[in-house]
């Protein structure tokens, strides 16, 4: 079997990897639960490549992410549930249905009417999904409350932002970013009180409240908190690498350096890296 640009050939590659006896032992051991960790990781790798504007890496990372879709689809096909073609048809149907202003008679409707149709279509899809689950004897997974439709498996900061955005649709929201900033200061004070109490569970809870408030501020200023913290992670790594490089140039190391030395080098790195 040779590499190809044809998706059908790639599906055959995955089928071969999952073929008992002749396939790959590791691939054969996997199931949905074990693969999902890699699926999430690959999505983050895509985000990282985009953040770095590295289109060479992006091509590879999108391939890795596509592998995850094909892997899940193959396991589902083995169970007789659905296959890759069903996945493609389902998303094609959804995109065409949700965009009548592009693909049907709604092309000239005003944006407000398009948004109303979008909401109606999503409600119809939920009804159809519920009916399909009932036909297969599966429990009804229709969300009960306003916030229940926000997936639990999302990264914490992203889920926090989506929960807040949902609540804001019914007016449960701050109307000024500076009010959110005041809430952040309040939460920081409560962390200090919890630290004084010595209750580690209380400290953890207050830190969670602070993070939630910071996400709220990010949402109000239209900043993606996940992207923001990724940029800060990279900034921290750059500056820490600077400390390592400068110490090495002096014939020293992290283990031998004092905190004061490292702090001074950190400040040097910060002055040269204003991002």
203-251 tens-digit pLDDT: 999 999 999 999 999 999 999 998 899 889 989 999 999 999 999 999 9
Nearest to 219 by CA among 180, 189, 186: 180
Same domain? 15 vs 134: yes
User: Do 175 and 242 have their domain in common?
Assistant: yes
Taking the CB of residue 69, how many other CB atoms lie within 10 A of it?
A: 14
pLDDT tier for residue 275 given thresholds of 50, 70 and 90: low
Quote the domain boundaries for residue 170: 156-272
The reply to whether 134 and 174 lie within a common domain is no
Separation between Cα atoms, residue 183 and residue 32, nearest integer Å = 41
Do residues 158 and 226 make contact, with C-beta atoms less than 8 angstroms apart?
yes
Task: Tell if the pTM clears 0.75, that is, is over it.
Answer: no
Exposure of 215 by Cβ count < 10 A (0-12 exposed, 13-18 middle, 19+ buried)? buried
Domain tally for the chain? 2
The pLDDT-based confidence of 179 (bands split at 50, 70, 90) is: very high
How far CA 254 is from CA of 5, 113, 161, 260, 266, in Å, comes to: 48, 61, 38, 12, 12
**Quick one: 41 and 131 in the same domain?**
yes
Residue 119 pLDDT > 90: no
In a domain, 32, yes or no: yes
């Amino acid at each position: 079997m040779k590499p190809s640009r044809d998706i059908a050939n790639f599906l055959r590659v995955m089928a071969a990897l999952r073929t008992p006896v002749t396939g790959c032992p590791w691939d054969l051991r996997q199931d949905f639960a074990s693969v999902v960790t890699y699926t999430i990781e690959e999505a983050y790798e895509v985000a990282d490549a985009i953040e770095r504007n590295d289109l060479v890496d992006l091509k590879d990372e999108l391939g890795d992410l596509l592998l995850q879709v094909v892997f899940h689809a193959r396991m589902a096909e083995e169970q007789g549930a659905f296959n890759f073609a069903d996945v493609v048809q389902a998303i094609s149907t959804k995109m065409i249905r949700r965009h009548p202003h592009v693909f049907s008679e709604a092309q000239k409707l005003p944006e407000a009417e398009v948004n109303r149709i979008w909401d109606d279509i999503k409600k119809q899809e939920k009804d159809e999904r519920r009916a399909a689950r009932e036909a297969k004897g599966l429990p009804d997974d229709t969300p009960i409350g306003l916030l229940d439709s926000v997936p639990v498996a999302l990264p914490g900061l992203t889920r926090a932002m989506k929960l807040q955005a949902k609540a804001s649709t019914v007016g449960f929201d701050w109307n000024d970013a500076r009010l959110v900033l005041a809430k952040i200061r309040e939460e920081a004070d409560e962390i200090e009180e919890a630290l004084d109490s010595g209750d580690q569970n209380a400290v953890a809870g207050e830190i969670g409240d602070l993070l939630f408030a910071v996400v709220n501020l990010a949402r109000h200023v239209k900043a993606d908190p996940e992207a923001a913290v990724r940029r800060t992670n990279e900034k921290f790594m750059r500056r820490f690498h600077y400390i390592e490089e400068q110490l090495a140039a002096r014939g020293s190391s992290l283990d031998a350096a004092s905190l004061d030395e490292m702090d001074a080098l950190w400040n040097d790195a910060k002055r040269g890296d204003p991002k």
